[in-house]
Amino acid sequence: MTAKPATILVIEDDDDQYELYEETLGSYQLVRARTGTDALACLRHCQPDVVILDHVLEQGERGLDFLPEFRELLPHVPVIIVSGVLEVDQQLRALQGPRRAHYCLPKPVDLRQLRRTVEEALRECGPAEVVRQFEALERSRRIDALELLSRSTDRLSRQNRILSKLRGQSQRANISALAREFRVARRTIMRDLQELIRRGQLPESVYPEWRRPVEETDPDSPAD
């Protein structure tokens, strides 16, 4: 059985540049978005394995402005920035912090380097990166950091179980019951539902207040 090719979300408004990507990365499944806004909409029906992000996009949008949200919605998906307008300090900032990009390549991009970078991202990032983080933390014996990473992994696992439980449901979710089932606070479940709705994995009807900050919701409200 032939393995399914990796999916690459290409956020690029220039047609000539995108044609180069099609020629260079033809062995992968490419999904195109011309703006960051369109890319976020794509995530409702597309879960990419790699994101290629330009900085200057249509409608005056800037790719780096969307980087934190992409990293929140796709925490283990490598992001490759390809841009010819970023200053050195901008590139460094984009490659630092918890919501960083994994790679930053200049334009005009060396197509062989781009292909190698995509191959490396698929090989070294994603689940493999999480395993390396666990191993590094265990070696360093940083218990606080290990617990933080563990909570992040628990959150993703819990969200997958919530998604499995609520998939196909259109009525409001019973937040109190979910909180009891997963042994977490109601606010935790609310944040999980917010993220799942933002990704387009659940309909808004399961938590109509999902756009409001969780802090505005009364934690002592009656059970649903």
pLDDT tens-place string over residues 1-18 = 456 889 999 999 999 999
Domain span at residue 25 reads 7-125
Q: In this structure, are 120 and 138 located in the same domain?
A: no
Q: Per the domain annotation, does 68 fall within a domain?
A: yes
Q: Per the domain annotation, does 215 fall within a domain?
A: no
Q: In this structure, are 154 and 118 located in the same domain?
A: no
d(CA 59, CA 13): 10
Q: In this structure, are 117 and 96 located in the same domain?
A: yes
Predicted confidence at residue 159, as pLDDT, reads: 84
pLDDT tens-place string over residues 71-83 = 888 878 899 999 8
Q: In this structure, are 161 and 139 located in the same domain?
A: yes
Total of domains in the chain: 2
Predicted TM-score of the model (pTM): 0.59
Predicted confidence at residue 222, as pLDDT, reads: 41
For residue 114, give the CATH number of its domain: 3.40.50.2300
Amino acid symbol at 139: R
Give the confidence band of 153 by pLDDT, cuts at 50, 70, 90: low
d(CA 6, CA 78): 12
pLDDT tens-place string over residues 99-141 = 788 888 888 889 999 999 999 888 877 655 554 555 554 555 5
d(CA 21, CA 16): 9
Q: Per the domain annotation, does 74 fall within a domain?
A: yes
Query: Is the Cβ–Cβ distance between 5 and 27 less than 8 Å?
Result: yes
